[in-house]
């Protein structure tokens, strides 16, 4: 006879290293999230002997079970008590249900106790315990009767009253109530723990801790009783039988009521889905179970249970064939209830083996190969490296799409098909050589205050939400995310997913929809990226890894070091340490790439974004960028960064204003709030005075609105209110729904230069009586003003090389400099993306990346 759960033997038998184990019935939810931390804390005490009395653990047991401390045994797994019990009890006979857990029989026969089995047939092809009176009539005084509830392997259960009644009918015998799976009970009205302290003296209860808390490797069990034999067993067991790690973890586990309640709810739901799936497969007849495993009869002559077990093992799926259980006729399998993903793999394998013809009619398309890039922090390089991999796959002939479930960014982009997404995903789409699509970033959060954001779903605004409101909305958002991903992935050969922030953010993990939860849904392996330029990269790799649950750690396939300057050979020892600690390799070291001329991560502040790049001419124009608090789409100014004769200077207050050659007011996510800031900072008057003195002022979108006379938000779209603008134009803006999201082309009337970009705003501005400056072919006005003071709703207006140069040259002439008269810095991402791909390809293990991706 063999036990389930022997992974080493299963690997040796099958030659398969990655096995999903259905042969051992462990919590499908997994271990509590604190398990790794508690073990780590306990290791500090590993140099001392364990508390021989297990005082903290027993205190927790008393609280959880409402029992007297003297009526508790803590043991190294309940097997320790099970094997001691028949040796000490000197029983005449042992009465065992058949089928039942094989170690009842083994423990009794090892002690020389005669075994008598009683059948469990309910007369209808199922299983049931006999009535207590009928069973008691069989029992010879001075014997032991084993009752397991729920019973392994068939999942039937009895109420605590059954133990009591049987014990009363057999006063000279012992009833062993094995409640190893009791915490998993569902579909009954007698779950709970309080009954264990209400049993008579001739009942001993066995209670496993390791199955419910998913920690069988730690070995921890409990036993309860109050009779003479119980105390003999207690004195029989050796000292220090429960180690420090098990004591720490057990104490914490028993006090984690939330985990217990969550497990019970989830297990019942997962069980039902799994049972229904098994019941739908020709050739299988599952029995109803009250536990976290299902006993299933094989009703086909194609395979024996052992043959089917072996076929499944070849696919990396281990189930328990029950040929070594007594009391069975026919062919039976027992399988644990695992997570839905694992259960579905087993169901698909059953269908494939048992009903291949049926499978052809219901072929399920394989998931699109996918890889997720995660970061140890924001701005670790996820966005840029996602773009790099998209370009590499494109170069290698693979049709690839980027995807980010949720992005928080004020730099957004209107897709050609309408709807807005994060600017980073638009760049990644360009890297992949595909058209940007709202499905690539189904949830976009645009902060409008410290505690709230505008929420954009599938490209459309659904409203402004405070943090708690959005957290409550997240499950609904995740449903949209999954639909978007499935639809997008079906059209591509591969998907590169980008995470957000860090997957180790403890305060966010419980409602994550963008990091490892998304990777698991997509079936994507994940790489964890760290920014070595910030320092502490290896600590952040290991620290992040340590916060993850076992299933999450399985998703991590390796690490990438980003932004390294120096001799890579100096990192070898650190990489070995990471491999030794995590079992995962560092798959590349990407150098610090200077002047790549690509937009920075969405999370980078505009102060970092506009830090000086390269050399500038001594006669460079000084363009002041007004840094309003809700500055949005500041990437509209990126085209100036590589102009040799332009220096962008950030201005936060009136004292920094100076005497610039031009002032630019860019977009705003909170126009009235930013208007108040201009007044409070003194910039309101400085800009007005500057304009009156002949200065050049340009505005884009929110900047256009700020430059007008009146601004009103009567529908509370950006927080409500009204105010007087800078008065540089005699215009009025009113905020209304819906948000305008559309791509446009236009002509700058003074120069005849073509411009292109997109509108993205709720404000409706009345241009009546204003000088038209940017006009579409159909005559629609997108901007107003003259050569010196102008504004437009067109994001991307300065991306047009010819127009941008004409604007710069006009400022040069005004300053007394010669115009250059030609484009000197083309604004194109294509060369930069190719350069980025070349550098990244050379510095990562691209072969391993492709292997993880599965292409």
Query: Which positions are annotated as active-site residues?
Result: 701, 795
Widest pairwise Cα distance in the chain: 114
Q: Which residues contact 525 (CB under 8 A, 6 or more apart)?
A: 371, 372, 519, 555, 556, 557, 852, 853
Q: How far apart are CA 199 and CA 178, in angstroms?
A: 13
DSSP H helical ranges for 669-817: 671-681, 683-692, 702-706, 801-815
Give the Cα separation of 698 and 706 in Å (integer).
11
Q: In a 10 Å sphere around its CB, with 0-12 CB exposed, 13-18 middle and 19+ buried, how is residue 239 labelled?
A: exposed
C-alpha pair distances (Å), 181 with each of 273, 457, 517, 623? 20, 43, 28, 71
Residue 520 burial by Cβ neighbours in a 10 Å radius (0-12, 13-18, 19+): middle
284, 350 in Cβ contact below 8 A? Answer: yes
By three-state DSSP, how is residue 667 classified?
Answer: strand
With 0-12 / 13-18 / 19 or more C-beta atoms within 10 angstroms meaning exposed / middle / buried, residue 718 is: buried
Taking alpha carbons only, the member of 702, 811, 791, 705 closest to residue 748 is 791
Separation between Cα atoms, residue 592 and residue 722, nearest integer Å = 46
Compute the distance between CA of residue 785 and CA of residue 767 in angstroms, rounded to an integer.
Answer: 10
The DSSP letter of residue 795 is B
HSE (CB half, 13 Å, CA atoms) of 431? 31
- Output the DSSP codes for 114-127: EEEEEE-B-SSSSB
Contact 187, 287 (CB under 8 A): no
Alpha carbon distance 332, 306 (integer Å): 9
φ, ψ (nearest 5 deg) of residue 853: -65, -35
List Cβ<8 Å contacts ≥24 apart for 10-17.
Answer: 10/313, 10/318, 13/313, 14/313, 14/314, 14/316, 16/313, 16/314, 16/315, 16/316
Chain CA centroid to CA 835, Å? 31
Cα separation, 220 vs 203, whole angstroms: 21
Count Cβ atoms below 10 Å from residue 348 Cβ, excluding itself. Answer: 17
DSSP state string for 457-491? ETTEEEEEEEHHHHHHHHHHHHHHHHHHHHHHHTT
Query: Structure tokens of 116?
Result: 């008598």
What is the three-class DSSP state of 646?
A: strand
**Paired tokens of 252:** 């914490």
Q: Which two tokens stand for residue 431?
A: 């890297």
In the chain the first and final C-alpha atoms are separated, in Å, by: 43
Strands of the sheet with 443-449, listed across from one edge: 406-408, 443-449, 452-457, 460-466
Joined together, the tokens standing for residue 474 give 């997240």
Cβ partners under 8 Å of residue 680, min gap 6: none
Instruction: Count CB-CB contacts under 10 A for residue 768.
Output: 9
């Amino acid at each position: 006879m063999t036990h389930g759960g022997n992974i080493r033997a299963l690997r040796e038998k099958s030659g398969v290293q990655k096995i999903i184990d259905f042969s051992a019935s462990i919590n499908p939810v997994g271990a509590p999230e604190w398990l790794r931390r508690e073990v780590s804390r306990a290791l500090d005490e590993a140099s001392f002997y364990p508390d021989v009395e297990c005082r903290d653990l027993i205190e927790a047991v008393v609280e959880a079970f409402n029992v007297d401390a003297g009526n508790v045994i803590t043991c190294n797994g309940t097997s320790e008590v099970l094997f001691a019990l028949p040796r000490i009890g000197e029983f005449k006979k042992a009465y065992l249900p058949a089928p039942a857990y094989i170690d009842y029989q083994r423990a009794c026969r090892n002690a020389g106790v005669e075994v008598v089995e009683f059948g469990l047939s309910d007369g209808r092809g199922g299983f049931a315990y006999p009535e207590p009176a009928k069973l008691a009539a069989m029992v010879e005084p001075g014997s032991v009767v084993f009752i397991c509830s729920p019973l392994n392997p068939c999942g039937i259960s009895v109420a605590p009253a059954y133990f009591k009644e049987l014990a009363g009918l057999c006063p000279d015998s012992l009833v062993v109530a094995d409640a190893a799976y009791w915490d998993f009970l569902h579909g009954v009205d007698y779950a709970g723990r309080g009954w264990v302290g209400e049993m008579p003296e001739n009942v001993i209860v066995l209670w496993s801790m390791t199955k419910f808390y998913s920690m069988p490797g730690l070995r921890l069990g409990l036993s309860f009783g109050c009779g003479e034999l119980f105390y003999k067993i207690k004195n029989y067991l050796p000292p220090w039988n429960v180690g420090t790690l098990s004591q720490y973890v057990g104490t914490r586990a028993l006090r984690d009521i939330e985990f217990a309640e969550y497990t019970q709810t989830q297990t019942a739901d997962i069980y039902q889905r799994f049972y229904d799936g098994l019941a739908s497969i020709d050739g299988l007849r599952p029995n109803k179970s009250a536990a976290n495993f299902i006993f299933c009869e094989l009703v086909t002559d194609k395979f024996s249970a052992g043959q089917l077990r072996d076929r499944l093992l070849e696919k990396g799926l281990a189930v328990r064939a029950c040929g070594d259980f007594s009391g069975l006729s026919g062919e039976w399998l027992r399988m644990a209830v695992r997570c839905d993903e694992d259960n579905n793999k087993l169901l698909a394998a059953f269908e494939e083996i048992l009903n291949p013809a049926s499978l052809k009619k219901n072929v399920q398309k394989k998931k699109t190969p996918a890889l997720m890039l995660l970061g140890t922090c924001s701005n670790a390089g996820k966005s840029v490296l996602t773009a790099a991999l998209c370009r590499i796959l494109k170069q290698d002939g693979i049709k690839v799409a980027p995807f980010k479930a949720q992005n928080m960014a004020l730099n957004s982009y209107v897709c050609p098909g309408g709807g807005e997404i994060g600017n980073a995903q638009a760049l990644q789409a360009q890297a992949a050589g595909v058209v940007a699509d709202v499905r690539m970033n189904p949830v976009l959060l645009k902060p409008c205050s410290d505690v709230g954001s505008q929420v954009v779903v599938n490209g459309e605004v659904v409203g402004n939400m405070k943090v708690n409101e959005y957290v409550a909305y997240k499950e609904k958002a995740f449903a949209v995310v999954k639909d978007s991903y499935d639809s997008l992935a079906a059209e591509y050969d591969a998907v590169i997913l980008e995470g957000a922030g860090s997957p180790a953010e403890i305060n966010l993990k419980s409602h994550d929809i963008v990091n490892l939860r998304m990777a698991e849904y997509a079936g994507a392996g994940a790489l964890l990226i760290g920014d070595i330029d910030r320092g502490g990269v290896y600590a952040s790799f290991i620290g992040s890894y340590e916060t993850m649950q076992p299933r999450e750690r399985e998703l991590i396939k390796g690490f990438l070091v980003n932004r390294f300057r120096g001799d890579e050979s100096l990192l070898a020892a650190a990489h070995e340490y990471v491999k030794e600690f995590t079992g995962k390799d560092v798959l590349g070291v990407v150098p610090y790439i200077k002047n790549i001329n690509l937009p920075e991560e969405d999370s980078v502040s505009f102060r970092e974004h506009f830090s000086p790049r390269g050399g500038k001419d001594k006669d460079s124009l000084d363009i002041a960028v007004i840094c309003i608090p809700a500055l949005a789409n500041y990437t509209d100014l990126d085209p100036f960064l590589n102009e040799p004769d332009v220096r962008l200077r950030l201005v936060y207050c009136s004292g920094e204003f100076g005497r610039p050659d031009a002032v630019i007011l860019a977009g705003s996510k909170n126009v009235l709030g930013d208007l108040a800031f201009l007044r409070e900072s003194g910039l309101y008057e400085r800009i007005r005075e500057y304009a009156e003195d002949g200065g050049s002022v340009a505005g884009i979108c929110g900047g256009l609105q700020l430059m007008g006379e009146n601004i009103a938000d009567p529908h509370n779209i950006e927080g409500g209110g009204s105010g007087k603008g800078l008065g540089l134009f005699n215009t009025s803006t009113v905020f209304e729904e819906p948000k305008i999201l559309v791509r446009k082309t236009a002509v700058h009337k003074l120069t005849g230069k073509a411009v292109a970009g997109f509108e993205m705003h709720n404000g409706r501005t009345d241009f009546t009586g204003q000088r038209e400056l940017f006009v579409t072919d159909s005559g629609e006005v997108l901007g107003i003003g003259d050569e010196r003071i102008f504004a437009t709703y067109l994001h991307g207006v300065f991306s047009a090389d010819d127009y941008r140069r004409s604007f710069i040259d006009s400022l040069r002439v005004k300053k007394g400099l010669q115009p250059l008269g030609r484009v000197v810095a083309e604004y194109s991402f294509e060369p930069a993306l190719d350069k980025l791909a070349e550098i990244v390809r050379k510095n990562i293990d691209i072969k391993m990346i492709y292997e993880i991706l599965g292409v």
